[in-house]
Structure 1
Amino acid sequence: MAARRPPVPAEDVEINIMDDDDGNQLRGASGQGYSWEEEYKRSWDVLQEDEQGSLQGAVASIQQQLKRRRLYRDSATVQRGIIRHVYLGIDMSSAMVELDLKPSRLECTLTLAEQFINEYFDQNPLSQLGVVLTRRGVAEKITELSGNPTEHIEAIRKKDNRLPDGEPSLQNLLDLARTSLHHVPSHGSREILVLYGSLTTCDPGNILDTISQLKEDTIRVSMIGLSAEVQICRTICKETNGSYGVVLNEPHYKDLLFENVPPPPLAVAKSNSNLIRMGFPGSKVFEHVALCAW
């Protein structure tokens, strides 16, 4: 029989588990554990339970910090309009059926649109809003400019207005909204907010001509992209002094959308807006005695 080899003591075995097969160091900067463990941070560790074991206090504190940060961001001294006229454009093309936003792009967009309408009229009680959809290469106005949020929400909730189909037409959407905003008085702002999920657009003409007309009518266009950044969308927003952003997730989507709730700063050309006469009573002196009947 072959002689059995005696076991090697544990202290004589050196195993370097901090190196990979190529000899690269896997040790972290602190020398303890692996490097990827140091980059990993558990965000839930910052939440502290209250005496009843609830997390509502911690969540409320985080929301208060976000609200305070938003107030500090809007504390700059700028001139804003009181009366706004906004058309909310929603992409209802087949690109909205994607599931990268939960439960889907379409459901997430329509849900946030309803919340935006309520918040918009809450902070802009003298303003008006309308809703325009685009699908199958055309644009459809489902509500006119009005100050009734219930009317807009009911129109969005209709089954026929929640069916995505075909390709969107960005030019038709902007032209339809521009035509409706053309008659708005100069003392009110003219704005178009587009929620766009597609990477393409099916336009009947040159969309650069539409941009020129929007600038001529002093209409501000802001857009929120759901897929990726599109150059023509950024060009439209830049030329019309609007804002453009691409969503990362559902909370970021809501943040970008609700940034359009407060009135935007007025452009330099609009700083000398015409004053409007309000219905306050005035005093008048009569030279002769007149009969006054109430």
Structure 2
Amino acid sequence: YAWESQDRSWERIQEDESGRIRAVGADDPATRRQRRQALIPGIKRGIVRYAVLAIDASESMNDSDMKPSRGIAVLTICEQFVQEFFEQNPIAHLAIVATFRGSATQVAAIGSSPHALCSELSTMAEKASFRGEASLQNLLELSKAILDPVPPYGSKEV
């Protein structure tokens, strides 16, 4: 019969120390909320940014639709990016990786000196040796290897 399966919700009502009436038990909204919060992992934000700047140094960068060439234009913009990146993130760390000839090479080690990184970019611009094909997979694998030792309080970006 229907009355035998009655859940008797009035028996789960109790008065707390402040005089408020609340439901106690498995259906208690506060209990459900606490259980739900325990299942949701907390969001962690990195204090220090660790980033890898990826540059395409393949043969297609020799095209001169921009003067003097795409590659030189990209390296000039990368120098500006490095300066602005460290102005906005003074305690950040940045590495530079280039991809050409189907592989990836670390141009500059991870560091926090914009002058050292810009000098590496200037050296790369002076050589202007863009050749072969780009390899996104090798670039990402090298970036991962560079960012693997980053401490847990840092955020990783490519």
Q: Judge same fold: TM > 0.5, yes or no.
A: yes
State the secondary structure of the residue aligned to 2:149.
coil
Task: Give the corresponding residue for 1:172.
Answer: 138
Q: 1:158 Cα deviation (Å)? A: 1.2
**Distance in 2, Cα, partners of 1:152 & 1:113:** 10
Amino acid at match of 1:190: K
- TM-score by length of structure 1 reads 0.37
Structure of greater relative contact order (alpha carbons < 8 Å, 6+ residues apart): 2
Q: State the SS of the aligned residue for 1:112.
A: helix
> Could you tell me how far apart the structure 1 residues matched to 2:63 and 2:129 are?
13
Q: What pairs up with 1:210-225 in 2 under 5 angstroms?
A: none
RMSD of the TM alignment (CA)? 1.8
Q: Is the 8 A contact 2:51 2:95 kept in 1?
A: yes
Equivalent residues in 2 for 1:39-54, closer than 5 Å: none
**What is the Cα deviation at residue 98 of structure 1?**
1.7
Hey, what does 1:260 align to over in structure 2? none
The answer for the alignment partner of 1:113 in structure 2 is 78
Q: Which has the higher helix share?
A: 2
Distance in 1, Cα, partners of 2:119 & 2:111: 13
SS at match of 1:158: helix
**CA 80–183 in structure 1, closer or farther in 2 if over 3 Å, else same:** closer
* Structure 1 residues 14-56: Cα deviation after superposition (integer angstroms, max 9, x where no partner): xxxxxxxxxxxxxxxxxxxxxxxxxxxxxxxxxxxxxxxxxxx
Q: Secondary structure at the match of 1:143?
A: strand
| Unmatched 5+ stretches in structure 1 | 1-78, 193-294
2:45·2:153 contact (CA, 8 Å) conserved in 1?
no
What letter corresponds to residue 157 of structure 2 in structure 1?
Answer: E
Q: Which residue of 2 aligns with 1:186?
A: 152
2:48 is the counterpart of 1:83: yes
Verify the 8 A CA contact 1:82 1:124 in the aligned structure 2: no
Q: Mark the CA change 1:80 to 1:104 in structure 2 (over 3 Å): closer, same or farther.
A: farther
Partner SS state of residue 141, structure 1: strand
Task: Report sequence identity in percent.
Answer: 40
Structure 2 runs not aligned, ≥5 long:
1-43
Q: Distance in 1 between matches of 2:140 and 2:127?
A: 19
Superposed displacement of residue 81, structure 1: 4.5
The one of 78, 101, 115 aligned to 1:136: 101
Which whole-Å CA distance do the structure 2 matches of 1:163 and 1:153 have between them? Answer: 17
CA distance in 1, matches of 2:127, 2:98: 8
* 1:82 CA drift (Å): 4.0
Q: Does the CA contact (< 8 Å) of 2:99 and 2:134 recur in 1?
A: yes
Change beyond 3 A, Cα 1:82–1:100: farther
How far apart are the structure 2 equivalents of 1:82 and 1:92? Answer: 31
Structure 2 CA distance for aligned equivalents of residues 183 and 125 of structure 1: 20
Name the amino acid aligned to 1:185. Answer: P
- Mapping 1:255-270, distance limit 5 Å: none
Under a length normalisation based on structure 2, what TM-score does the superposition of the two structures give?
0.67
Aligned residues: 114
Q: Which has the higher strand share?
A: 2
Counterpart AA for 1:94? E
